[in-house]
């Protein structure tokens, strides 16, 4: 099949690359010349493990091309994916200007029946809206269908997630479009991936519902972590015992500094907004949004407490990205933490294996950027683990101790046990860690 | 081992019978003499599938006995379970009166080492409190340990849940107590059931956290169901799409009239109070509780809406228990629904295959009671499905329609498919889907 993917950010690029790997002929379009130039030269503008191999392989095979010109190959294309950004606006609602711009651009180019697929995360009703916009801007009356096909990939494991998804959701009222979508995802059909076929509104809601639920799960365990600290209980044991309940599932029950990233903050706020716009309330998600903000701020207080104040202190932060294996800094807890530390008169040194450039764009010269974990620790009053990159899991704690001004470890991801930190001579605090516990069996 | 189980309600009875079945010698104790007399005769005072067989089997072998008096039972047993009720106080905190009363009685009868196990759902710190209480009331100093061992069984599948637990949680501070607990549960250890051994605080909190999270799942999907009704989405498909995400899981994503029962409402309130008393607010659980209350109220409005002008109408409510496979009516969503309907001048008929006796206590003569579904429906203006009993699924829809005055179904459990209802000629309202009128 001939497929056009418009927008080559995280989602668009992964979609384009993986669909070409499924054997389709794919054109990736972006209005950003720098991005397209980089891609044409075989450089991947984002950090995403495994993506470069797939892109390279399919470019070489002639199945994948990149362009800034949306008209390129458009006549032959059967399926057009819209994968542009939908950032949040002030009021929490999703900004649809890019999606609508694309709809207007492609409308006059539709020369033959095409399926227009919304892959961006868009509010309920956007499918219908895109249909209207296209119909209004068509120059020839050619039939087309709009499909909602939300994307569930996660940054850091995007390729695996796309190639082996938990499910594929396809929202459309048209049988013709449904058959074409099955053809697009034939490779996944063959490996028995569950497909959920439904109407556009339901498909659009599934994406928000899933993300909002996962955000709720994280925030729920964070609130439990806070009470653990108050009563002397251990949140990791609680999470483990909860997760053994077949109805709960052990995933996403790690207490930490609060969720961030390009999806959860945006999608939770958008869902709250969608509900309000329809005269309903998403009151649980509203509580989640607020509790998550408090959780991020609470981390500053935690550092303050263990040091007995922040004025004049030097703080070493390990990890800036919102999670490991990505360079994405959007809504990262590190930003709230750094802002709080600076406000209270501390100096911040930081290191991240992938997100230094992105961090610089946001934080400028308000903090010191270091070459590695050990340089970061140099002369600091506390070492803070903010993102659980694998390389931070096996720090040489003894060496670290000689570099630090005082041996204080604040482990916001619970990657060390209080025992090992104490054994290494540190004053230690994690998130929701009360007293020790052991697990037997299995 | 010689075991005493104090309090023979849902949890106590299943625990006593289950432990006897594992080969222990168990005495079940309850202060309610009628209960004990029935149990001695092999009659089970509650509705719980499979429990009668389990009790009878072990009564016959003599491994299970029942008595009213605590003292001899304490004297002969090493392991003492506390399985009495911990209902809610007005402010949502758990009422520990029964637990404390039992602790004092145990203390008065103790002359040798015992492990006292809290199986009731109790706030953080209760194990320590029970320990101090016993110490204070001991006639002479004796060594003992207090252990937290929360119960996760569900009414309706309690026997199965006892035999096949997802995990066993033990909150203890003494090595000796942990060793005794493992001996007691050695049958589960052999079956490779995971054991979580931790401190009492963590153990106590696990129970609340698990229940609050499950309540959260239900309340979350119910809010989305409301949204689906507004946008023309379909909640069943939303739940399917969400549940396929292995980090979410498909369970407890069934939209309905709101959760009820003897555990979720009580345990969510109690958790909120625990958080408040430690200055650590549980805002999500609070939102869940409020959303669930609103949702139950909304159900009554939904029914009134479907009725048009409710006054003078007759409605048959099918299902009164808080869920299927139980006779438990505690916090059942049917209660506020029926109260609101009555207040609006509706005459309400109630049907339930197991909970009519309990219902009569709750509703007295404000409603009429039926043992037959079709009789309940005869001449009614609408049917409300409030509990997902299997017999309602298997109802003869054309026959049902023929006896009703107006063929209207308000299916609060989505047990019927839209197409089967419309084919049978019903107008219907479901949860999380646009109505067909
Ligand atoms: N990042 C994720 O993990 C993730 C996961 C699932 C869903 N999503 C959703 O997918 C969508 C895209 O997210 P992303 O992270 O890939 O965004 P992104 O910002 O990384 O990429 C968007 C790209 O679209 C391009 N673009 C914008 N307008 C254009 C136009 N008119 N023509 C051509 N190109 C244009 C931009 O230049 C940019 O390269 C969003 O709706 C997001 O919510 C993201
Ligand atoms: N019912 C469930 O599904 C369930 C599941 C898990 C945990 N729990 C928890 O287990 C505990 C018990 O719940 P239940 O549903 O079995 O309660 P219940 O009300 O059915 O039973 C409690 C029993 O204890 C007896 N009792 C009270 N005081 C006594 C005393 N001083 N001496 C002897 N007997 C006494 C009562 O007569 C009653 O029979 C509660 O804390 C509850 O939260 C219940």
pLDDT at residue B436 in the model: 58
Which residues are registered as beta bridge partners of B49?
none
* Residue B87 CA to ligand 2 centre (angstroms): 9
Question: Quick check: A8 and A66 in contact, CB under 8 A?
Answer: yes
Instruction: Identify whether A370 is a catalytic site residue.
Output: no
Q: Which pLDDT tens digit goes with each residue over B173-186? A: 999 999 999 999 99
**Quick one: DSSP state of residue A26?**
E
Is the pTM of the predicted complex or chain greater than 0.90?
Answer: yes
Mean per-residue pLDDT, A129-150: 97
Mean per-residue pLDDT, A137-146: 96
Nearest to B247 among A224, A242, A252 (CB): A252
Place of tokens 């101090």: B132
* Residue A11 CA to ligand 1 centre (angstroms): 6
* Token reading at A243: 């997760």
Pocket lining: B12 vs ligand 2, CB cutoff 6 Å? yes
Provide φ and ψ at A81, rounded to 5°: -90, 130
* Token reading at B244: 């396929």
* Residue B8 CA to ligand 2 centre (angstroms): 7
Question: Quick check: B412 and B299 in contact, CB under 8 A?
Answer: yes
Percent of residues, chain A, with pLDDT higher than 70: 98
Question: Quick check: B145 and B118 in contact, CB under 8 A?
Answer: no
Nearest to B202 among A245, A248, A434 (CB): A434
Three-state DSSP state, A94: strand
Domains in chain B, please, with CATH? 2-198 (3.40.50.720), 205-437 (3.40.50.720)
Q: Say yes or no: A185 contacts chain B, CB-CB below 8 A.
A: no
Confidence of residue A435 (pLDDT cuts 50, 70, 90): low
Three-state DSSP state, A4: strand
Q: Quick one: which H or E segment has residue A13?
A: helix A10-21
Mean per-residue pLDDT, A343-361: 97
- CA-CA-CA-CA dihedral for B233, B237, B242, B246, to nearest 10: -170
Alpha-carbon gap, residue A371 to A373, rounded angstroms: 7
Nearest to B231 among A124, A198, A281 (CB): A124
Rounded to a whole number of angstroms, the distance from the CA of B10 to the nearest CA of chain A is: 20
Tell whether the model's pLDDT for residue A436 goes beyond 60.
no
CA-wise closest residue to A30 among A50, A42, A16: A16
Alpha-carbon gap, residue A27 to B349, rounded angstroms: 64
Tell whether the model's pLDDT for residue A121 goes beyond 50.
yes
Alpha-carbon gap, residue A326 to A362, rounded angstroms: 16
pLDDT at residue A108 in the model: 97
Burial class of residue B423 in the structure, from the number of CB atoms within 10 Å of its CB (0-12 exposed, 13-18 middle, 19+ buried): exposed
Alpha-carbon gap, residue A432 to A415, rounded angstroms: 12
Give the number of other CB atoms < 10 A from CB of residue B24.
20
Q: Say yes or no: A281 contacts chain B, CB-CB below 8 A.
A: yes
Alpha-carbon gap, residue A295 to A259, rounded angstroms: 9
pLDDT at residue B435 in the model: 64
- How far, in whole angstroms, is CA A136 from its chain's centroid? 34
Tell whether the model's pLDDT for residue A437 goes beyond 50.
no
Pocket lining: B85 vs ligand 2, CB cutoff 6 Å? yes
Ranges of chain B whose pLDDT falls below 50: none
Provide φ and ψ at B390, rounded to 5°: -60, -40
Give the residue, by CA position, lying nearest to ligand 1 atom 20: A9
Three-state DSSP state, B246: coil
> What ipTM is given for this predicted complex?
0.94
* B156-to-B42, B49, B162, B250 alpha-carbon distances in Å: 19, 6, 12, 20
Q: Beta B368-370 vs B382-385: how paired, if at all?
A: unpaired
Mean pLDDT over the full length of chain B = 96
CA-wise closest residue to B289 among B271, B277, B262, B276: B271
Confidence of residue A92 (pLDDT cuts 50, 70, 90): confident
Domains in chain A, please, with CATH? 2-197 (3.40.50.720), 225-439 (3.40.50.720)
* Token reading at B4: 């005493």
Task: Mark yes or no for CB contact A247/B214 under 8 Å.
Answer: yes
Give the residue, by CA position, lying nearest to ligand 2 atom 38: B9
Least confidently predicted of A82-91, A100-109, A355-364: A82-91
Q: For chain A, report the end-to-end CA distance as a whole number of angstroms.
A: 48
Closest residue in A to B274 (Cα–Cα): A227
Which residues are registered as beta bridge partners of A417?
none
Three-state DSSP state, B226: helix
Closest residue in A to B282 (Cα–Cα): A223
Give the number of other CB atoms < 10 A from CB of residue A324.
19
Question: What are the respective helix, strand and coil percentages of chain A, to the nearest 5?
Answer: 45, 15, 40
Question: Quick check: A356 and A376 in contact, CB under 8 A?
Answer: no
Mean pLDDT over the full length of chain A = 95
Q: Which pLDDT tens digit goes with each residue over A45-85? A: 988 999 999 999 999 999 999 999 999 999 999 999 999 99
Question: Quick check: A320 and A285 in contact, CB under 8 A?
Answer: no
Rounded to a whole number of angstroms, the distance from the CA of A127 to the nearest CA of chain B is: 13
């Amino acid at each position: 099949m001939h497929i056009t993917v418009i927008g080559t950010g995280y989602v668009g690029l992964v979609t384009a690359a993986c669909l070409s790997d499924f054997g389709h002929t794919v054109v990736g379009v972006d209005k950003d010349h720098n991005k397209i130039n980089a891609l044409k030269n075989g450089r991947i503008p984002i950090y995403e493990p495994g993506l470069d191999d797939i892109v390279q392989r399919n470019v070489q095979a002639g199945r994948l091309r990149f362009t800034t010109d949306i008209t390129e190959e458009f006549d032959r294309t059967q399926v057009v994916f819209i994968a542009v950004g939908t950032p949040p606006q002030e009021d929490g609602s999703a900004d649809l200007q890019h999606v609508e711009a694309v709809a207007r651009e492609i409308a006059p180019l539709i020369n033959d029946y095409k399926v227009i697929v919304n892959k961006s995360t868009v509010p309920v009703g956007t499918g219908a809206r895109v249909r209207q916009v296209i119909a209004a801007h068509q120059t020839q009356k050619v039939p087309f269908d709009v499909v909602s096909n939300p994307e569930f990939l996660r940054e850091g494991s995007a390729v695996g997630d796309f190639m082996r998804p938990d499910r594929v959701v396809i929202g459309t009222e048209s049988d013709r479009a449904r058959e074409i979508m099955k053809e697009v995802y034939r490779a996944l059909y063959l490996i028995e991936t569950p497909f959920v076929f439904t109407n556009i509104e339901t498909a659009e809601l599934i994406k928000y519902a899933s993300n909002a639920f996962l955000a709720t799960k994280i925030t729920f365990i964070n609130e439990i972590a806070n009470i653990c600290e108050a009563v002397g209980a251990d949140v990791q044991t609680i999470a483990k015992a909860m997760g053994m309940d077949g109805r709960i599932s052990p995933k996403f029950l790690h207490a930490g500094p609060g969720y961030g990233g390009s999806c959860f903050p945006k999608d939770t706020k958008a869902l709250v907004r969608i509900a309000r716009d329809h005269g309903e309330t998403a009151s649980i998600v509203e509580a989640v949004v607020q509790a998550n903000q408090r959780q991020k701020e609470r981390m500053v207080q935690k550092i303050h407490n263990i040091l007995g104040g922040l004025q004049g202190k030097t703080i070493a932060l390990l990890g800036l990205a919102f999670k490991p294996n990505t360079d994405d800094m959007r809504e990262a807890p590190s930003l709230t933490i750094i802002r709080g530390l600076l406000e209270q008169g501390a100096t911040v040194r930081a290191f991240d294996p992938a997100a230094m450039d992105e961090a610089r764009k946001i934080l400028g010269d308000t903090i010191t950027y270091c070459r590695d974990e050990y340089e970061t620790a140099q002369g600091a009053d506390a070492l803070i683990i903010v993102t659980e990159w694998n390389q931070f899991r096996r720090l040489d704690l003894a060496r670290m101790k000689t570099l630090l001004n005082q041996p204080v470890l604040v482990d916001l991801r619970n990657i060390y046990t209080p025992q090992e930190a104490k054994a290494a001579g540190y004053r230690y605090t994690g998130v929701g860690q009360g007293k020790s516990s052991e697990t037997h069996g299995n | 081992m010689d075991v005493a189980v104090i309090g023979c309600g849902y949890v106590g009875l299943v625990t006593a019978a289950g432990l006897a079945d594992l080969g222990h010698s168990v005495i079940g104790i309850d202060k309610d003499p009628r209960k004990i007399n029935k149990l001695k005769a092999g009659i089970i005072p509650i509705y719980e599938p499979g429990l009668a067989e389990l009790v009878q089997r072990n009564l016959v072998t003599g491994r299970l006995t029942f008595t009213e008096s605590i003292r001899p039972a304490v004297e002969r047993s090493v392991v003492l379970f506390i399985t009495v009720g911990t209902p809610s106080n007005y402010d949502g905190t758990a009422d520990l009166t029964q637990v404390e009363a039992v602790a004092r009685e145990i203390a008065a009868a103790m002359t040798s080492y015992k492990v006292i196990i809290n199986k009731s759902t109790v706030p953080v710190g209760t194990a320590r409190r029970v320990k101090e209480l016993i110490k204070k009331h001991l006639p002479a100093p004796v060594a003992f340990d207090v252990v937290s061992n929360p119960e996760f069984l569900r009414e309706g599948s309690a026997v199965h849940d006892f035999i096949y637990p997802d995990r066993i949680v033990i909150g203890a501070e003494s090595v000796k107590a942990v060793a005794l607990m493992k001996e007691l549960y050695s049958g589960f250890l052999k079956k490779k059931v995971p054991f979580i051994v931790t401190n009492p605080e963590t153990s106590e909190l696990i129970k609340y956290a698990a229940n609050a999270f499950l309540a959260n799942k239900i309340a979350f999907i119910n809010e989305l169901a409301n949204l689906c009704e507004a946008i023309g989405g379909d909640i069943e498909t939303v739940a399917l799409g969400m549940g396929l995400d292995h980090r979410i899981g498909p369970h407890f994503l069934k939209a309905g009239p709101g959760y009820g029962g003897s555990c979720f409402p009580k345990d969510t309130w109690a958790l909120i109070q625990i958080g408040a008393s430690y200055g650590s607010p549980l805002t999500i659980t609070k939102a869940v509780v409020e959303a669930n209350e609103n949702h139950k109220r909304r159900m009554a409005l939904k029914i009134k809406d479907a009725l048009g002008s409710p006054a003078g109408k007759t409605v048959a409510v099918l299902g009164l228990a808080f869920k299927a496979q139980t006779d438990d009516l505690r916090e059942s969503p049917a209660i506020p629904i029926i109260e609101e309907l009555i207040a609006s001048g509706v005459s309400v008929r109630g049907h339930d295959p197991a909970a009519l006796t309990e219902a009569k206590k709750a509703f007295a003569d404000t409603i009429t009671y039926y043992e037959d579904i079709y009789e309940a429906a005869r001449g009614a203006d609408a049917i409300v499905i409030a509990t997902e009993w299997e017999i309602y699924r298997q109802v003869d829809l054309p026959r049902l329609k023929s006896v009703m005055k107006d063929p209207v179904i308000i299916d609060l459990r989505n047990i019927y498919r839209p197409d089967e209802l419309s084919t049978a000629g019903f107008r219907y309202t479901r949860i999380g889907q646009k109505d067909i009128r």
